[in-house]
Amino acid sequence: MELTLWTYEGPPHVGAMRIAASMEGVHYVLHAPQGDTYADLLFTMIERRDRRPPVTYTTFQARDLGGDTAELVKRSIADAVERFQPEALLVGESCTAELIQDQPGALAAGMDLGGIPMVNLELPAYSKKENWGAAETFYQLVRNLLKPQLPAPGAPKLDPTRWRAENRRPRVNLLGPSLLGFRCRDDVRELTQLLAGYGIDVTVVAPLGARPADLLRIPTADANLNLYPEVSGSVCSWLERQFGLPAVKTVPIGIGATVDFLRELHGVLGLELPAELQAERQSRLPWYSRSVDSTYLTGKRVFVFADGTHAIAAARIASRELGFEVVGLGTYSREMAREVRALAAELGLEALITDDYLAVEAAMAEAAPELVLGTQMERHSAKRLGVPCAVISSPLHVQDVPARYAPQMGWEGANVIFDSWVHPLMMGLEEHLIGMFRHDFEFVDGHRSHLGDGAPAAPAVEEPAPVAVAVAGGSLSWSADGEAELAKIPFFVRGKVRKNTEAYAREQGLAVIDSEALYEAKAHFSR
Amino acid sequence: MVSSSVASSTLPPPLKESGQREVFCGLTSIVWLHRRMPDAFFLVVGSRTCAHLIQSAAGVMIFAEPRFGTAILGERDLAGLADANEELDRLVAQLLERRPEIRTLFLVGSCPSEVIKLDLAKASERLNQQHAGRVTVINYTGSGIETTFTQGEDSALQALVPLMPKSDQPQLLIAGTLADAVEDRLVGLFQKLGIERVASLPPRRSTELPAVGPGTQLLLAQPYLSGTARALVDRGASLIEAPYPFGVEGSRDWMAAAARACGVDQAQIDAVLDPLVERGRRALAPHREVLEGKRLFLLPDSQLEPALARFLARECGMELVEVGTPYLDRQLMAEELARLPEGTQLSEGQHVDNQLQRVREARPDLVVCGLGLANPLEAEGMATKWSIELVFSPIHGIDQAGDLAELFARPLRRRGALQFS
């Protein structure tokens, strides 16, 4: 058993629902107890969809357990096929149904479904999670549908440069975008435009908006874009293995990553990349970030925690394109742990690979950042710690499915990222003035007047620290004069200064920290 | 007098359906119970699905100092590799260390824990001994296979009943969660009527459970408390027969029934309540204008549906197309059924696709339904009122009748207000 106050991912059948609900013409029969229909709300409320997810639940109750639940499954399958006339059917179990082992997939296989393809989903609910469930479902569905098209063993693989011989524009599939993914709707639009600018067409976007018939056209493309590896990673590597369809692995979030992505894609397709990419003219981020107004962003301490894809992208943008210092990097996507670890090592950090909300909160408090880039959960632990925060990844809430155009990918995505990451920080002038004059009645410590909130969020930053000292430091304490000096440090770096000073005092064997010790520590760490 | 105005209505037999049910499980009740009793902690023993449900339902609130969590079963627990009881003891110790101020710990059963027959009753007995004097551990089920939405509260309160002290003293006991302000108002009114001792279950602090015994007159504020009512009656309480306190009429009848049971004379009842009735009707009037003659379809959700339908039909002039309820306790609902307009079609249970078919055929003016159906029905051109809000809003009592009607009038007003061409 594992004590969980908050889970970064739902169970794997929610991942399967994401695939079914993202697509058209696919129906999902889910063997699940009454109550599991709560998951419909993720789509009707958070994604604000105008129709019910294409999911039929068996919703068994205790009294059904005495009877024939297998019969209930068969009835639900038959009803769903008749009522919704899907082009493909997914059949699977939720965690409770997994325990009673009715084998709904096997039951469906024995039924006359009028010839529609049926995919039996085996999603181990007690060991796997949502993204794994989505990736597995997408993979099984594609594999199932493309089975008849599999090239004979030994047959030559597809040539990604054949578009030239066929005298047409090169074309690619966009794989991975799905409902409940972060900003997928607008990422697809942004990328489609971007590709069009380079003369590249889009064959299939999947799962978002695709029908089973569209999946059948996947092999007609020249390459796949593996846009959300958490969802499309396994399908892309299968297509590469079986059909020789190469996958472009760079995810184009950020200026540098978009440039790398274009390079990789052009390389794969055998296309000449225009020598002058003009990235700086395509997106405003580079100029905004270079302009003097952004100078004060230099070295701002940032803590990043997200799914693997977005964590990697964010760390790169933060450190190279915005000039922040990344002081913490982690992910809950264990499948992406290796890549995140490698990037963390490059940044001189140890990656935090965990799905334990409390461990993330503790690491955040320890790193004492000035900005948190995270998920919906980090937004709130950041609030508790009084640190500004922006959301960069799922899990998300309704405010991160906005009405306006808000991609993360490509040139416009970088514009959106600049605005939304800088917005929560205190503006430059206010930051200077609060550092100068600390006795104002309105612009008090921790106040960010451009956010329009009256009360400062700062005090929470301070409270955990004395406890930490008592635990970690043993005899270490602050003198009144030391505390007074600490209070003069601008609030957003105060946590870090406190930690540095304590570390310095311990190193020097000091028992009491006074104002002099604080300045000593400041000089010591100012390399 | 009100009771004479109660029509002995003739209702056709309720439609009983089985099929897919689009409802919450009882775990959802944690979302409001943890606020009613802030010194309690709700530990669900279940799967990742259970944890995901509560965080999706509790939305933004999850981030305050947590008052609920899930002990997620892993493969080792299922394979018997880890002794589930030892695991539970370990987690509870860990939790209590982090949150020493917890006074009552609810172990909440879920579908997985019930299917594998994890004995949480025994576990709570054992944990009670381990942590005696610090925290009381009790258990109840919130599983979807056993409970629907508000039945989770029934099952939680029922688990509290054995812990209530015994007392023969005459008192009025109001059962069912009420908003604080509503509770204060109602208790104040009962005292004005001359009823000195009024207690509430659940209390605001889990350690301050009211007493119960032969002197207790039990008044249900919520219609979903079948198990709790039985358990209280078993401990000597007498159940007051009354409709539920929704709207002017229901609330007046509810208070009057309680007052009569406590021996208050009719003149006193009329003197206290009549001015409220007059004022309540005035507050209702503007909403009645919006709602009158509109056709209403209620899908099953909380068991509040028959009482709300009665209020909306009798006091707001709505026409009832179908009144769905997840479960119909005929005894506890008798006073409501008697007040429903003749011919009202009730349905118990659900086959959601068939029911939606009936909704589409009837094209009602307002559909009361859950959030899984509300936006899809809006997109089909039907006005909806999402039902969960009714469990989270102060809607009980004569003074709240206007607010309650407003909840139903608002979506209709909004539809009238929006223009895009």
Tokens of A456: 């400062």
CA distance A379 to chain B (A): 9
Residue A244 backbone dihedrals phi, psi, to 5 degrees: 70, 20
Q: What is the mean pLDDT of chain B?
A: 94
B69 and A5 in contact by Cβ < 8 A? yes
Q: How many CB pairs under 8 A join A and B?
A: 182
- Tell me the per-residue pLDDT of A206-260, one tens digit each, with 9 for 90 and over: 999 999 999 999 999 999 999 999 999 999 999 999 999 999 999 999 999 999 9
Set of chain A residues whose Cβ sits within 8 Å of the Cβ of B28: 35, 38
Find all residues with CB under 8 Å of A54, minimum gap 6, and list them. A20, A21, A26, A27, A28, A84, A86
Task: Count CB neighbours of A215 within 10 A.
Answer: 26
CB distance A33–B70 less than 8 Å?
Answer: no
Of A308, A312, A200, which is closest to residue A253 (Cα–Cα)? A312
Q: Is the dihedral of CA A455, A457, A459, A463 positive or negative?
A: positive
CB B45 within 8 A of CB B72: no
User: Where do runs of H (alpha helix) occur along B116-179?
Assistant: 120-130, 151-160
Contact A83, A27 (CB under 8 A): no
B247-261 and B305-314 are packed helices; what angle lies between their axes, rounded to 10 degrees? 110
Q: Which residue has the tokens 């900003």?
A: A183
If one compares B224 and A472, the residue with the highest pLDDT of the two is: B224
The beta-carbon neighbor of B48 closest among A7, A35, A384 is A7
DSSP H helical segments within B217-351, as ranges? 226-234, 247-261, 266-291, 305-314, 334-339
- Tell me what pLDDT residue B60 has: 57
Cβ contact B49–A95 (<8 Å): yes
> String of b and e for A48-66 (b: at least 16 CB within 10 Å)?
ebeebbbbbbbbbbbebbe
Distances (CA, A) of B211 to B132, B166, B170, B220, B310: 21, 5, 10, 16, 33
Q: Which helix (H) or strand (E) holds B216?
A: strand B216-220
Say if the Cβ atoms of A3 and B27 lie within 8 Å: no
Lookup: tokens for B45: 């023993």
- Cβ–Cβ below 8 Å for A38 and B145: no
The number of angstroms, rounded, from the C-alpha of B52 to the middle of its chain's C-alpha atoms is 22
Asked if B332 contacts B402 with a C-beta cutoff of 8 angstroms, the reply is no
Chain A positions touching B57 (Cβ under 8 A) are: 38
Nearest CA in chain A to B73: A1
* Residue B167 CA, distance from chain mean position: 26
pLDDT category at A279 given cuts 50, 70, 90 is low
Cβ(A208)–Cβ(A134) below 8 Å: no
Assign residue A519 a region: left if phi > 0, alpha if psi is -120 to 50, beta otherwise?
Answer: alpha
How many whole angstroms separate alpha carbon A38 and alpha carbon A45? 11
As annotated, the active-site residues of A are: 293
Helix (H, G, I), strand (E, B) or coil at A291: coil
Looking at beta carbons, which residues of chain B come within 8 Å of A385?
A: none
Shortest distance, CA B243 to any CA of chain A (angstroms): 28
For chain A, what percent of residues have pLDDT higher than 90? 73
Residues from chain A contacting residue B143 (CB–CB below 8 Å): 33, 35, 62
Determine whether the interchain pair A1/B84 forms a contact, defined as Cβ–Cβ distance below 8 Å: yes
Contact B198, B187 (CB under 8 A): yes
Of the candidates B148, B353, B375, which has its C-beta nearest A49's C-beta?
A: B375
Which of A35, A51, A58 is the closest to B379 by Cβ? A51
Cα of A126 to nearest chain B Cα, Å: 5
pLDDT of residue B37: 94
Please determine, for residue A521, whether its predicted confidence score (pLDDT) is greater than 90: no
Q: Which whole number is the average pLDDT over A371-376?
A: 95
Place A352 in a pLDDT band, splitting at 50, 70 and 90: very high
The answer to whether ipTM exceeds 0.85 is yes
Give the residue ranges of chain B where pLDDT is below 50.
Answer: 1-8
